Chains A and B, each alone.
Chain A
């Protein structure tokens, strides 16, 4: 019976998605429709989150393995050969494998974890709940968005198991290295799989992004004007806009690269002699690919960062019991970052022989981003000032996010200035910069979000003690790992080196590299503690009894503790005010659905 219903629904889904949706609020769901091919935005969000967590474990594990090589270049680990076979012959990680690990670590964390896992999770989960909608504009496309991501994941995973190994030319896959199988074994079939996987991933991103934009623009509940939306909504909105406008450009780059690899075209190839063979390709430009890549690549770092900013803003405000300071300035700076994100891509290319005048324009636009960033930092600080701060695990991670955003953002001023970039480009200084500001900071935003909204997702709390241990190990560890790397960068130490022992200029960092590796492993273990806490608490966590456990104003806390498909059992609440009336007129908080009283002061 239930399988029949499923079949009928799937058949009808394409044409009558809205009808099914409204008529069958409480229809019987089978396991398949509820947990696998679900069209409920909350379930899709959880699918994105759990897939993201699995990817994060894999991507993090890659970094542990390559840190083994960097920390202990002289040692062998025979047990590695048992697991990895010829990639770790004699217990020594091979250079090809090292580069494959570095490449996959970057690809997985940037795209699969911090794009799909972060905005995929929270855009899906929060948008309908916070704007007061029953679901996304198109639940079907939303479901497809996850399954394209899943397909991309399967293809990427499969590339790990091919004989010649996965892509190994860095996550930026610059041709000609990535175009020529003769130049690197990772550029054989592994690279094709990488490109196809990314193409699927881009389809997923576009389906998701268009849906987020449409939903936010069209499906806000009565009274929810754009300027009454919580900052999470603004951040996720701009994130989606960035993705929709920039991912297609990467797709074009990926397709042209596939052509160059397989069909003999010369978009990116010219004047090449590789492995003793003179190639016929002439007239292409290797630099063209970098333009196409970074036209996505730079907005991509804001696709990763903006959701973290939005969620931290919300969580800082709730737990300081104060309105976010300068709401309009926060929206304006998000907008400014969103626009500037498209105009700075060539700052990744200052040393490619770029036209100096063009370089100067990009310096100017790049350093302009520091202004909205500074506004955000000072506004966050002022939000804390004279608050009444509760250190929930989410709040700790939000504060940690601000600290890391400052530390990593300031080094951007060095790298955005082309004169200094000439010296620091592609050194450990860059590694330190982007790991702190984009990697770790965004992870902190993501953790803040998970800890804050876990009660809404599963109706249970995460364990606090484990959360505190997780936070303090992670923030201390992150600084211990990446802070000293600035010094290595100032010594000119290049990134993506398998071994430094033959270099007179860089070989004196053996002790420091070992220290960093040890801390990296401890921090990785602490993340496993979080993963354990997450899965344990889904089933065994303390149950949520208060529908509004953080005493927050936003609409998601007006739903039942375990909302069904459709979110609100009765009418969708009407909105009467912005999301930040905390400690106003002596009241601790006033939810958005409470009408404005006659004696209420204006702000």
Chain B
């Protein structure tokens, strides 16, 4: 009913606009087309300057309303993300100045140089000096932005610092699985053909490889604060994306091609609840690459805890191997003592 009402009103507005438009065309013919054209020109010239002023006020008002909903006020959850926020602010500043300057010039010129009977347009086809200025100035600013950007880019795409630990993140329609390498610090080999839902080997872990015997599979990601973590990222079916807005990180999960990303969490979830004033605050993993009907619900949770809490938590987890082969005791696996800070050789993730 409401919809019909809306449609009826829309149609009425259309009819009214149409009638006015037709009438104004007749009036302009009667009045002299030149005269009515000049009147319209004045109205549109005024609208130009009105649009500029109201638009700039609107942009400011929008910022008042929504700045607090962005991630800036709560700060970056990762040490590396601080640099992203800083660079974002610099870029906003530079582009903001250019934005205001060019929009003001555009609409001010349009208003100021609107047609007048006594005005002659100025024949001004080119001016090399001016053109050189606005070629070089943007080039210089861009160079600065590129240099800082690339410095950060090489840092976060390079190797993580010594002392980091490794977790594996696997995406599938429509959830995330996590695997910790256990005491040996090395993730056991996988082969997607070993996928077997009934036995619980949903990641296709190769249990012939003894490195896998102490690996721990979970569906929530616990990470200790202040320790760099390297994620080894896989997908089982289609492309997903490990989106970590609070840490300012993001990396695709591609079937057949493992990817990595690393960062250093700097606030525990509890600390972040205080910083944001939101008692429900959660570090969420959002899938950022369309992956099918449940894409919007592919949510993962990361819990950042203190080192002590982490050690406690991981000691309570039981390796999959022990669940799946209860009568075998994995040699050398002692799930109660896990030294995750030791600098171990990195897990070379071999697909098969």
| A binding-site residues for B, Cβ under 8 Å | 77, 79, 95-96, 99, 169-170, 174-177, 180, 183-185, 269-276, 278, 282, 284-287, 320-329, 351-353, 356, 359-360, 363-364, 367-368, 370-371, 374-375, 377-382, 384-391, 396, 399, 402-403, 406-407, 410-411, 413-414, 417-420, 422-423, 425-427, 463-466, 468-469, 472, 475-476, 479-480, 483-484, 487, 490-492, 494, 496-500, 502-506, 508-509, 512, 525, 528-529, 532-533, 542, 580, 582-586, 603
Contacts and interface: CB of A to CB of B under 8 A. Distances in A.
Contacts of B152: 419
Given A389-B110, A472-B47, A582-B121, 12 more contacts: A174-B290, A183-B238, A273-B172, A325-B126, A374-B138, A465-B25, A475-B51, A476-B51, A487-B62, A487-B63, A509-B69, A525-B14
A180 B238 CA distance: 9
A120 B28 CA distance: 35
B157 interface: yes
A389 B125 contact: no
Nearest to A355: B157
B241 A426 contact: yes
A184 B292 contact: yes
Interface string B34-67: 0001001101110110010001001100110011
A386 B113 contact: yes
Interface class of chain B by DSSP: helix
A542 B28 CA distance: 11
Contacts of B291: 177, 183
B257 A353 contact: yes
Contacts of B70: 487, 490-491
Contacts of B195: 273, 278
Contacts of A480: 58
Contacts of A390: 37, 41, 115
Given A386-B113, A410-B99, A418-B149, A371 B299 contact: no
Contacts of A95: 293-294, 296
A418 B125 CA distance: 38
23 contacts: A95-B293, A170-B290, A177-B238, A177-B239, A273-B172, A273-B236, A321-B121, A327-B126, A353-B251, A353-B259, A364-B150, A370-B142, A378-B130, A378-B131, A386-B113, A387-B122, A413-B94, A419-B148, A419-B149, A419-B150, A422-B156, A475-B51, A603-B125
A221 B252 CA distance: 54
Interface of B: 3, 10, 14, 17-18, 20-22, 24-25, 28-29, 37, 40-41, 43-45, 47-48, 51, 55, 58-59, 62-63, 66-67, 69-72, 81, 83-84, 87-88, 91, 94-95, 98-99, 102-103, 105-107, 109-110, 113-116, 119-127, 130-131, 134-135, 138-139, 142, 145-146, 148-150, 152-154, 156-158, 172-173, 192-193, 195, 197, 204, 236-239, 241, 243, 245-246, 248-252, 254-257, 259-260, 278, 280-282, 284, 286-297, 299, 351
Contacts, number: 376
A386 B24 CA distance: 31
Contact of A500 (B236, B241, B248, B296): B296
Interface hub of B40, B48, B172, B287 (most chain A Cβ within 10 A): B40
Nearest to B122: A386
B252 A352 contact: yes
Given A391-B45, A427-B288, A498-B296, A583 B123 contact: yes
Contact of A375 (B41, B99, B134, B193): B134
